[in-house]
Structure 1
Amino acid sequence: SLALDVNETNVIETARTAARIGSELFVIDDGWQHALGDWYPDPVKFPNGLRSVIEEVAKLGMTFGLWIEPEAFEIKSNLYKEHPEWAMAYPGCEPDVRYRGDADRHSMMLNLAKPEVADFLYTSIHKLVAETGISYLKLDMNTFFSSPGGADRLWIDYARNLDRIFQTLSKDFPSLLMENCASGAGRASLQMTRSFGRINRSDNQDALDMLKLHEGFTYMNMPRMAGGACHISDTMRHVNNRITPLKFQAYCGMLGSLACGKPLGKCSDEEIAEIRSYVDLYKKFRPVIHNGNFYRLASAFEHPYAIYEYVAKDRSEAVVFVLGASIQFGDRVPFFLVPGLDPDAVYEIECHGTVIPDQAEYFAEFAKYSPMTGRGLAQIGLHAALFGDYDCRVLHLKRK
């Protein structure tokens, strides 16, 4: 919402708006810290530390989280000034520098293959979590291994030490939800999943691209772990200039762990109310999405639409997402089979996402569904009418 321009005042203002959309967790991204490597609040932006912010967020009924990029440090950081030898570099060579913004924000990789570096990083993060009492820790990874030197077994020891840090932290703080940065660092792995409850699949926030990302991700990971690329957000719109409707963003985001990254302070009251309606709908379906069985009924790789189903373990209900990508004039989504339900039970079907204000009467006809048995759903199936690009529906099937 605020990019790097964060301070005590605008963070609290944003938190108040976040509470209006029904947020349960409020996270400050990059910009709160003194520098990469110095994981304490910037004294200019947060002269009172983070305590007043955390207390205000708690009053608003939300838990609090922070972003860190633990494997890098910046030239302006006190850590670099004290330990320039901790930068990853080939012996006798200068470390490779990642240029980002002003010169003092240029950064380098920390050589976590060195045990003293790994121990320091663990201590720094432990102190941060213990002192702030945060509920959520979001990792980032934006620096390349372009000069992997400075240790005899760099690749092996680096990976082992990184894993050890977060395995230990997960045991130190069992209620702390940690999000692993996966795509930029290639770490959507079962090894790292031992420590993390959420994975940032990608910085690609494009809702259409996210359909294929989610399909691939869920072949190895539970849908509930899907973070990143799962936002109500226009953050990365400048990359491909694609404009997607708010509803499409929200429904795609509901496939995993829904988040909102829009600049809420610039949203109208109507937009806030619309986002709140999607958040409320997601909370209603979240137990099934997070704990149910996942079916890919139609792949985004094979069709101009995608259909995904989540079925409760006790088969009492299911949630089906029908998401249009490129729906041409006159195209219709064919009937699709809905497996996994109790064949002898009867299910009521509720449709969400059909009302277009100036055509409500016409579209209402497409939202009417008669009750069906689980056997009928599995052998005859359902239909869902989509009209144009990014049109979408959510069908809720509930056992009578």
Structure 2
Amino acid sequence: MRLFPAGGSQLEHWWVEKGAGTPSPIGTHTTPIDEAFHHRSISTPMAAKRKSGECIPWQAIHDATNRRGCYTIITTSARVAQAVDAEKDSPAIRVSLEFDENVAPFRSVIRAGGGLALPAVFLGCYEGDVDDGCNRLHRWTERRHLPPSSDPRLPLVVNNTWGRATHIDEASCLAMIEDGAAMGIEVFQMDAGWYRSVGWWNPDPKKFPRGIRLLSDRAREKGMKFGLWVAWTQGGHVRQGDEALCVFEPRMRVWFPDDVPADWRSHPWRGRPCCLDSSAAREWCLKELGRIVREYGVDLLKHDQQMITWDCTRDDHEHTESPLDAGYRAAEGLEKVYSALREQFPDLVIENCVNGACTLDHGIMRQCHYTIATDTYDPLSNRQAFYDASYPLPPRTLEAYVGKHPTPTLDAFRYMLRSGMMGWCTIMIDTTQWSPTQREEARRLIEVYKDTLRPLIRSGNLYHVSPRPRADGWDAIQYMSEDGGEGVVFVFRAKSPDGSYRVRLKGLRPDQIYSIVSEDRKVRLREATGRELMTDGVTVELPRKESSDILHVRQR
């Protein structure tokens, strides 16, 4: 595809990295496009856990002179590449969206009477800045791309047991359900550690002698949904006939990309992923998922570990020896499993984890209602990953894992929780260890999230009103209703030596008067026209490092 910019325009190229494992030092990349410009980035089904440099397959070409631009997305979790090149001796810019044939040629076989549907790519145009373009993309993604949900509240507040790692049992889970319900948490989610062995998804009888259904029923009695972690593509080493997915089971052996040594053993929460291009593997996985959801009373399913293989060497699957074809067909296989599962359980909510955003693209979001943005749980990493991913993906789909962080004061406690409340909030802390004061403050913050923040996260416009978060700075994210009538601004002081920060707002009506009120101080910080607030901004004071506030923006 060739683009011809207007003469004299200053063009910028924008792209973002996956938060795979942990956010990178840059994350959001903005580069001027000159006559020698070249960019190429890739996305694979399973990025390396640290420093992968992989992109979320989205990019924008922004005309900073005329305040307009275009963006592209690729809608698959297969191995793909996006590239932009300035042409020599021509004003044109060449944009390429393709399988990453730098690793191998794409080769596929079309059976007699069959066909091959290649991944869809999209080009969108916008007026304004990059945030304006992304807000249009967010609305389109929500309407046309995400799986349907019968729960109008999404995103939800979740308490996940990973705060205790795999050290969970019936008593600790029941205590967390009671504690979470008292604070207004909406989902109790069991993470890894509840099962007998990877691939054998029956409850550990020592930890859960009365089974999982006892816990899911108790959660619903307390007004909560029940979520369950299942790495359902992972085969383990324990043979149990058809009851467990096992790399050594003769019938199942050929479902895996290759044979493993006889002494191979699965990890406590990771095994060898099966190839979902195998129809027999898909059939077993779908049947097992249906059993899990039905017998255990699962409302929310969290998948983890590698879901899509691209290294399969079996010659009795439909894919060829090309890793590009193998990965693409396995991605299609995942879609087939989830489409069939949703037909059986239309109210089921599905979370994408995959080692903390190692798979993060518009392809996986066709199957999942929400996704983790990074697997590093501290406040700064959560905000960095959210900042990056909220360009290409709707903020209502972006999850933060709120992990244990030093909270010597309530300011620090609020800072920790709010860093995970800009999208889907999952608390990965054993909240029974919080003090009564902390639990009461969490209850208040969750109430504000439900009543004020969530409606804007669901349907408002998002604006990046500060540079990307860094350890020694301030950062801010703004939400504004589409009509410009009301909004909120999340403001964070990390370890900056400065006690105040000026935030210039976006998305306001220039001639209307707005009031800016601090959530924590309960005082009006400024009353001014939208034009003044977008030009001069509002000054926020936070005396302590690692503290925060929420500014309520209301048209008078």
- Please tell me the TM-score bracket, short chain as reference: 0.7 to 0.9
Matched residue pairs, number? Answer: 374
1:299 is aligned with what amino acid? P
Measure, in 1, the Cα distance between the counterparts of 2:514 and 2:264: 59
Task: Among all aligned residue pairs of Structure 1 and Structure 2, give the percentage whose two residues are the same amino acid.
Answer: 24
Deviation at 1:171, TM superposition (A): 3.7
1:232 is aligned with what amino acid? V
Deviation at 1:288, TM superposition (A): 0.7
1:10 is aligned with what amino acid? S
More helix by share: 1
Give CA deviations for 1:51-99 in whole Å, capped at 9, x if unaligned: 22122111211111111111212223522264551463436x6389576
- Which position in structure 2 is the counterpart of 1:240? none
- Which position in structure 2 is the counterpart of 1:399? 555
Deviation at 1:185, TM superposition (A): 6.2
Q: Is the 8 A contact 1:316 1:341 kept in 2?
A: yes
More strand by share: 2
2:358 is aligned with what amino acid? G
Measure, in 1, the Cα distance between the counterparts of 2:239 and 2:555: 58
Q: Is the 8 A contact 1:25 1:62 kept in 2?
A: yes
Mapped pair 1:231 → 2:231: no
- Which position in structure 2 is the counterpart of 1:67? 229
- Which position in structure 1 is the counterpart of 2:468? 300
Give CA deviations for 1:279-309 in whole Å, capped at 9, x if unaligned: 1121121111221100001122578221110
Among candidates 365, 381, 384, match of residue 537 of structure 2: 381
2:446 is paired with a residue whose SS is helix
Mapped pair 1:134 → 2:298: yes
Deviation at 1:43, TM superposition (A): 3.0
Which structure has the higher relative contact order (CA within 8 Å, separation 6+)? 2
1:397 is paired with a residue whose SS is strand
Measure, in 1, the Cα distance between the counterparts of 2:296 and 2:217: 10
- 1:182-221 correspondence runs (5 A): 182=354, 184=356, 186-221=358-393
TM-score (norm 2): 0.62
- Which position in structure 2 is the counterpart of 1:313? 482
- Which position in structure 1 is the counterpart of 2:285? 121
* RMSD of aligned Cα (Å): 2.8
Q: Is the 8 A contact 1:17 1:264 kept in 2?
A: yes
Q: Is the 8 A contact 2:197 2:236 kept in 1?
A: yes
Measure, in 1, the Cα distance between the counterparts of 2:264 and 2:392: 34
1:262 is paired with a residue whose SS is coil
Q: Is the 8 A contact 1:232 1:253 kept in 2?
A: yes
Mapped pair 1:327 → 2:496: yes
TM-score (norm 1): 0.84
Cα 1:13–1:175, aligned 2, differ >3 Å: closer, same or farther? same
Give CA deviations for 1:256-299 in whole Å, capped at 9, x if unaligned: 11121211222221221122122112112111122110000112
Mapped pair 1:247 → 2:414: yes
Cα 1:216–1:208, aligned 2, differ >3 Å: closer, same or farther? same
Mapped pair 1:36 → 2:229: no
Cα 1:8–1:397, aligned 2, differ >3 Å: closer, same or farther? same
- 1:145-184 correspondence runs (5 A): 148-151=312-315, 152-153=319-320, 154-182=326-354, 184=356
Among candidates 291, 294, 308, match of residue 459 of structure 2: 291
Deviation at 1:113, TM superposition (A): 2.9
Cα 1:185–1:88, aligned 2, differ >3 Å: closer, same or farther? farther
Q: Is the 8 A contact 1:182 1:201 kept in 2?
A: no
1:214 is paired with a residue whose SS is helix
Unaligned runs of at least 5 residues, structure 1: 238-243, 355-363
Mapped pair 1:100 → 2:267: yes
Deviation at 1:340, TM superposition (A): 0.9
1:253 is paired with a residue whose SS is coil
Measure, in 1, the Cα distance between the counterparts of 2:215 and 2:312: 39
Cα 1:180–1:95, aligned 2, differ >3 Å: closer, same or farther? farther
Cα 1:292–1:183, aligned 2, differ >3 Å: closer, same or farther? farther
- Which position in structure 1 is the counterpart of 2:25? none
Deviation at 1:207, TM superposition (A): 1.1
1:258 is paired with a residue whose SS is strand
Among candidates 109, 117, 124, match of residue 273 of structure 2: 109
1:234 is aligned with what amino acid? K
Measure, in 1, the Cα distance between the counterparts of 2:208 and 2:469: 46
Deviation at 1:143, TM superposition (A): 8.8
Deviation at 1:132, TM superposition (A): 3.3
